Structure 1
Amino acid sequence: MTIKHDFADLSMQGLWKNNPAIVQLLGLCPLLAVTGTFINGLGLGIATTLVLLGSNITVSLVRNFVPNEIRIPIFVMVIASFVTVVELLMNAFTFGLYQVLGIFIPLIVTNCAIIGRAEAYASKNPVHYAAFDGLMMGAGFTFILVLLGGMREILGFGTLFTGADLLFGEFAQNATIHIFETDANFLLAILPPGAFIGLGLIIAAKNMIDRAVESRMQKEQKIVQRARVTGTDI
C-alpha cells in the first residue's frame, strides 16, 4: 500500500496541519526540557531532523525486504544507528552544545514522531517522498523548538541567541541580542512550568488561526453558492 502526496501537501502537513509537536503532541519530553534558549532548541531540532531524514530514507529503501513481523525492531535499530551518528558528530564538532543537551540526544531514539513516520509513511512510499516527509516533519518540529525556546529566553533572560557559539563556532560569540535589561530573571519562563504554558499558548494560537481560516472559507463557499443560485457574478 502506497500513500503518495505531492510535495506542497507534505510541506503543509509537516509544518502546520500535522506538526509533530503541536498537533500530534509527540516528542514533548525533549521539547519542554531543552527549550530554555533559542540555540538549545535549534541544536536539538537539527539533530532530530537529521535522524528523521536518514531513517526515513533508509526505511524506504529496505521496506520491500523487511518482513512485517520484525519491521518495528528493524526500524528502531535504523533510528538508533542514525542517532549514534548524530551524537558522535555533535560530540566532535559542537561539544559545548552536546554537553548542554546531554541525555536528550540519545533519547531521540524514543521520539515517537520518528518511529511514527517510519511506520506510517516511509515504509509505504518511495525514497524521494519519504525523504521530503522526514525533512518537513523535522522542520516543523524544529520550528516549534526554536519558537518556544526564543519565547522563554526573551521572557526569562531578556536576550536572544545566547550560546550561539556552541552551535556555530567562535565567530558567533557576539551574536547575543540583548532585548532588555533585568535585575532578576523571570523564573516562570525559565523553569519547566513556563515551557508548558508557552506550548499551550502556541497550540491555542494555532487553533485560533485554523478556526479563522475555516470560518473564512465557509463564508466564501456560501457566497459562491449564493451566486450560482442567483446567477450573479462574484
Structure 2
Amino acid sequence: MTTPTARAALVATLLAPAAALPAQTGSAVNAATTITIVRVPTPWYAPNWLVTRRMRGTQTQYAGIDGLLFKAYAHASDRHFGGVYLWASAEQAYRWFNADWHARVLAQYGKAGDVRYFSINHADATLPMLANPNSDAVAMLMLGNGSVGKQDGSNSGRPSSLFASYDVKTADGSAAVLTFWRSRADADRDARTYAARLGVPTAASWEWFSLPILLPTQQARNATTR
C-alpha cells in the first residue's frame, strides 16, 4: 500500500515541469522486429492527465536506449498506464525490461509492471517521425486466438486514418494485429472494416490504448541509413 508520504512525493513528481524534446525526423518503424506493451496499474489518486504530465517529463530518457525505435506512451482503458514500444530486436527489449526495471516499478508504484512481447511478422507502418507530446492517437490490439488473417503487404484498402498495422505473434504463438490510428473517432469509424479486410474474426478480443505522446528515437533515425 502506498503511504501518504510516498503518495505526496509521487504527486509532486507528476507535477514537475515537462522537459523539452527536440523534434526528430526519419522513418524506421518498418525495421522493428519486436513490440512490447507495458502496463502498470494507475494509482487511484492520479487522474490520467496528471500521469500524462509526468510522462512528458521523461521523454529524454528514451532517446538513447539501445534498439528502441519508437515509443507511444499509453493509457489503457482499464486504468493502467505504460507504453507501446517498437524494438530493433527482442534481445534489446529483454535487456531493457530486466529484473532491475521490474524492481524499480514495484518500488515506485507498489504494484508489478506487466510486459508483453510480440514478434512482428509483417509491418505496414507510416508512424509520424516528429515527436508529438500532445497526441490524439490510439492503438488497438486485436487478439484472434491464432486465427487472425495475414496482411497482403499492400496499402490496398488501408484507411488514411491508420498510421500503422502490424501482424504479430504473442509469446504463446497466437496471432494478433496491432494498429495505430490518428484518433479514437477514426478508429471507431474505420477499425472494424479494416479488421474484416484482414480476416480478423468478430470474436477477437480488442484492447484499446490512448496514446498521448508519440516518441520516435535517435535509433530510428540511425536505422534509416543502414
Structure with greater proportional helix content? 1
TM-score range, shorter chain: under 0.3
> Please, what TM-score do these two structures have when normalized by structure 2?
0.25
Larger radius of gyration: 1
> Please, what TM-score do these two structures have when normalized by structure 1?
0.25
Structure with greater proportional strand content? 2
